[in-house]
């Protein structure tokens, strides 16, 4: 009996809303429809098409034989009224659908009405379900943006264009967000099981720091935890690799220049030029490593500038010249010492000769 009464009340309410949402069309509104030569059940596109057709016909500047400013003003006013009526009609239909769905859910599960909020997402208390629903909305919005971009790109030849790169970047962002959600869920599950209860610092706050006031606190804490457990931050490892690479390139070029010798023949000069071209390519690869390092380094004063191949070659040649001068000075000193030792030996030999003569 109670169910039948509730269904009768619902039917009456629907009928009342339908009657209030779709009123009988007035005479002036019918005249507007007839002036635009469209049916009362038309949509917005049909009304717009009919309006443009009449504008081309009655506009004073159209050059048409039927041009009439008064008729044009009537058509424009009728178009505004009809468009407004169609908008109100769509709004009323949408409200009616929402009301019907709400009434349907209320009648189906009145004892679980609290779960009709937040689209039925989440478990726990209302505040916990609200946080879970916010995350769900963010994820759904991201998926909708990606779907819209994919639909927009369908049917277009976008190979080697910036839009294709945008799609790839969007996919990377989606994968990254999915991984972050998975990691967060795994951490929460482990905390609930008690896997972190045996940690020595459980329940204690992290140590504050004051030596780097301009660094992100989260980044600093993560770096400190990694260092204390035997790991190094990514930017430190990359900085070390860059220094080792540039030092190796300089030593290799200096060694190759020593191998060629002081005087360069035409063949040796050609070999040196080829090696310099390879050195420039290696410097380009090194500059890419510098770009990657600058993206992850947490401090601005730790960022590095690009290496110039010409400047590096000039430094290498300068070191080679200094090394040659040092070698030449060393050889001169050794030559003088050899001459002095030879003179002293000759002097001693002559002295022994006169002593022998005196003894005889």
Sequence ranges of the domains in the chain: 2-108, 126-154+164-193, 217-327
Cβ within 8 Å of residue 256, ≥6 positions away? 272, 275
Instruction: Output the six-digit token pair for 46.
Output: 């049909």
Q: What integer best gives the mean pLDDT of the chain?
A: 75
Cβ within 8 Å of residue 69, ≥6 positions away? 58, 60
Q: How far is CA 98 from CA 91, 95, 101, 272, in A?
A: 11, 5, 5, 80
pLDDT digits (tens, 9 = 90+) for 260-312: 887 778 888 888 889 999 999 999 999 999 998 888 887 788 888 999 999 99
How wide is the angle at C-alpha 196 spanned by C-alphas 190 and 198, nearest 5°?
Answer: 145
Q: What is the rounded radius of gyration, in angstroms, for the C-alpha atoms of the chain?
A: 44
pLDDT digits (tens, 9 = 90+) for 196-207: 777 776 667 666
Instruction: Output the six-digit token pair for 179.
Output: 């991984």
Q: Tell me the pTM.
A: 0.34
Residues 349-355 have a mean pLDDT of 63
d(CA 216, CA 228): 18
Report yes or no: 33 and 79 within 8 Å, Cβ to Cβ: no
Report yes or no: 166 and 158 within 8 Å, Cβ to Cβ: no
CATH fold of 2-108: Helix Hairpins (1.10.287)
CB under 8 A, 24+ apart: contacts of 10-13: 10/103, 10/107, 13/103
pLDDT digits (tens, 9 = 90+) for 99-118: 777 666 555 544 455 555 77
**pLDDT above 70: residue 336:** no
d(CA 246, CA 307): 9
**pLDDT above 50: residue 33:** yes
End-to-end Cα spacing for the chain: 160
Instruction: Output the six-digit token pair for 306.
Output: 């690009």
């Amino acid at each position: 009996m109670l169910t039948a009464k509730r269904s009768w009340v619902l039917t009456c309410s629907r009928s009342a809303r339908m009657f209030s949402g779709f009123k009988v069309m007035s005479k002036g509104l019918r005249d507007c429809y007839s002036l635009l030569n469209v049916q009362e059940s038309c949509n917005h596109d049909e009304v717009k098409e009919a309006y443009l057709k009449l504008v081309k016909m009655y506009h004073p500047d159209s050059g048409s034989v039927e041009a009439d400013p008064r008729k044009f003003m009537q058509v424009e006013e009728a178009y505004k009224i009809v468009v407004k009526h169609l908008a109100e009609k769509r709004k009323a239909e949408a409200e009616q659908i929402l009301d019907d769905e709400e009434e349907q859910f209320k009648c189906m599960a009145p004892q679980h009405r609290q779960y009709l909020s937040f689209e039925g997402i989440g478990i726990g208390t209302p505040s916990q379900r609200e946080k879970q629903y916010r995350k769900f909305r963010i994820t759904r919005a991201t998926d909708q943006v990606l779907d819209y971009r994919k639909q927009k790109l369908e049917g277009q030849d976008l190979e080697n264009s910036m839009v294709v790169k945008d799609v790839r970047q969007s996919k990377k962002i989606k994968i990254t967000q999915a991984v972050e959600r998975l990691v967060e869920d795994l951490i929460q599950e482990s905390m609930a099981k008690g896997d972190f209860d045996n940690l020595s610092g459980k329940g204690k706050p992290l140590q504050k720091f004051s030596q780097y006031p301009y660094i992100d606190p989260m980044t600093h804490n993560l770096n400190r935890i990694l260092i204390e457990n035997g790991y190094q931050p990514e930017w430190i490892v990359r900085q070390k690799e860059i220094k080792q690479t540039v030092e190796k390139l300089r030593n290799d070029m200096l060694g190759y220049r020593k191998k060629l010798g002081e005087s360069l023949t035409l063949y040796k000069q050609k070999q040196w030029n080829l090696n310099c071209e390879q050195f420039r390519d290696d410097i380009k690869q090194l500059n890419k490593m510098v770009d990657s390092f600058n993206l992850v380094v947490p401090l601005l004063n730790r960022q590095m500038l690009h290496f110039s191949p010409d400047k590096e070659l000039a430094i290498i040649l300068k070191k080679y010249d200094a090394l040659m001068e040092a070698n030449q000075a060393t050889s001169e000193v050794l030559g003088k010492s050899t001459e002095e030792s030879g003179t002293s030996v000759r002097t001693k030999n002559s002295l022994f000769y006169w002593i022998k003569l005196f003894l005889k």
